[in-house]
């Protein structure tokens, strides 16, 4: 895997200026928000390709539009493409760049917290297709990522807060010490972008560790799905309602539910369960799920696994350790969702 580099904004600007001269052209792919709020902060001269913001634009039409504009700009294989945005743009931009002329050098500059700790690291690129998420894409091990937490200052609060769940998940599966330090920082009501950079670096190191062990996602990288078996089902359920959840919000609920299952199997203590639950509620605004939805969520989890009888899940084995492919059952999922609802009363 190519490297992830951390920059302050000043250093990012000077670094981009110094590398730009080695390329025939620099093109920045952004969405309408990251073009408006982040592009000028890079301090470089570049051609820009702007895609409308939103997951619904992570599609083949946007890809074609990028390829058309790259062609009109006479971009050759000695150019540099920057993908400046959240996970939508880094997935789309790096996919488009890795196919254009069989691959033009490209760098992700994530601007959302989720992009920094998850989407821009690990080489997965792609677009949604025919209603299926990330249906078309490639593993692109050559893609670098430049992370600068100053760019988060314009990210909407709900987007920022929801991504803490991915950071907490990284700590829970691999770094007990980071998790304990993080929970202590909960008495700090606001974190500076500098504080955040350290937390992000630690989370990225964990993701990079799993990616380097399993670059093509065939084994141990599955650990990164902790919280996602139930989380994805909840996310899919809420997509059918008038109030969809952000991915990180659904994952936060999934983390609480799957930690409860872990606790019920006596693999973590009640103190651990409470600290996982309280830190997630502290960072992310979470509401109870109507019990009428529980069966639908269970069915969605089953469907997601393309398996009619068993739902396999990542569970913790103490904080900082995990077990892969543990079957979980209907009744314990419903119990876990009930438990989650009770924590909403307790922590909000």
Residues of this chain that bind ligand NAD (CB under 6 A) = 31, 33-34, 37-38, 53, 55, 58, 85-89, 91, 111-112, 114-115, 118-119, 122, 124, 133-134, 151-152, 154-155, 159
Q: What are phi and psi of 309, to 5 degrees?
A: -120, -35
For ligand NAD, the closer of residues 119 and 273 by Cβ is 119
> Which DSSP symbol is given to 191?
-
Rounded to a whole number of angstroms, the minimum distance from the CB of residue 87 to ligand NAD is 2
Rounded to a whole number of angstroms, the minimum distance from the CB of residue 174 to ligand NAD is 17
For ligand NAD, the closer of residues 134 and 338 by Cβ is 134
For ligand NAD, the closer of residues 46 and 92 by Cβ is 92
Rounded to a whole number of angstroms, the minimum distance from the CB of residue 318 to ligand NAD is 26
For ligand NAD, the closer of residues 117 and 326 by Cβ is 117
For ligand NAD, the closer of residues 37 and 129 by Cβ is 37
Rounded to a whole number of angstroms, the minimum distance from the CB of residue 53 to ligand NAD is 4
Beta carbons of 87 and 120 less than 8 angstroms apart: yes
For ligand NAD, the closer of residues 110 and 298 by Cβ is 110
- Exposure of 212 in the CB half-sphere (CA atoms within 13 A): 10
* Residue 183 neighbours by CB under 8 Å, 6+ apart: 275, 278, 279
Buried b (16+ CB within 10 A) or exposed e, 280-300: bbbbbebeebeeebbeebbeb
Q: Give DSSP secondary structure letters for 219-242.
A: SGGGGGGTTHHHHHHHHHHHHTSS
Alpha-carbon gap, residue 253 to 98, rounded angstroms: 35
Rounded to a whole number of angstroms, the minimum distance from the CB of residue 207 to ligand NAD is 9
Find the angle CA(262)-CA(265)-CA(266) to the nearest 5 degrees: 90
Rounded to a whole number of angstroms, the minimum distance from the CB of residue 41 to ligand NAD is 9
Alpha-carbon gap, residue 224 to 168, rounded angstroms: 11
Rounded to a whole number of angstroms, the minimum distance from the CB of residue 154 to ligand NAD is 4
Nearest residue to ligand NAD, by Cβ distance, number only: 87
Closest by CA position to 41, among listed 16, 61, 62: 16
For ligand NAD, the closer of residues 80 and 152 by Cβ is 152
């Amino acid at each position: 895997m190519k490297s992830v580099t951390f920059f302050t904004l000043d250093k990012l600007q000077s670094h981009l200026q110094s590398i730009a001269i080695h390329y025939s052209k620099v093109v920045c792919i952004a969405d309408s928000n990251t073009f408006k709020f982040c592009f000028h902060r890079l301090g470089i001269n570049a051609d820009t390709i702007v895609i409308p913001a939103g997951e619904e634009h992570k599609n083949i039409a946007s890809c074609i539009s990028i390829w058309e504009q790259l062609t009109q700009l006479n971009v050759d294989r000695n150019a540099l493409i920057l993908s400046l945005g959240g996970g939508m743009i880094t997935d789309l931009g790096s996919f488009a760049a890795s196919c254009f002329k069989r691959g033009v050098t490209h760098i992700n500059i994530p601007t959302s917290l989720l992009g920094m700790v998850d989407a821009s690291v690990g080489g997965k690129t792609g677009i949604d297709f025919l209603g299926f998420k990330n249906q078309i894409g490639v593993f692109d091990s050559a893609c670098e990522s430049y992370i600068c937490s100053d760019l988060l200052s314009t990210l909407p609060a709900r987007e920022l807060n929801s991504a803490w769940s991915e950071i907490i998940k990284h700590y829970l599966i691999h770094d007990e010490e980071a998790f304990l330090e993080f929970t202590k920082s909960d008495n700090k009501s606001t974190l500076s972008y500098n504080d955040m950079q350290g937390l992000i670096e630690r989370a990225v190191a964990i993701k990079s560790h799993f990616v380097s062990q399993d670059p093509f996602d065939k084994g141990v990288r599955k650990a990164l799905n902790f919280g996602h078996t139930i989380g994805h089902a909840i996310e899919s359920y809420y997509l059918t309602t008038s109030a969809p959840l952000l991915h990180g919000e659904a994952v936060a609920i999934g983390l609480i539910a799957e930690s409860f299952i872990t606790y019920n199997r006596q693999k973590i203590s009640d103190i651990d369960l409470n600290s996982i639950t309280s830190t997630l509620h502290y960072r992310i605004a979470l509401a109870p799920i109507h019990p009428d939805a529980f069966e639908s969520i269970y069915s969605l989890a089953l469907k997601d696994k393309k398996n009619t009888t068993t739902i396999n899940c990542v569970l913790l084995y103490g904080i900082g350790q995990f077990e892969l492919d543990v079957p979980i059952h209907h009744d314990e999922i419903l119990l876990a969702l009930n438990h989650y609802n009770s924590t909403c009363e307790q922590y909000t």
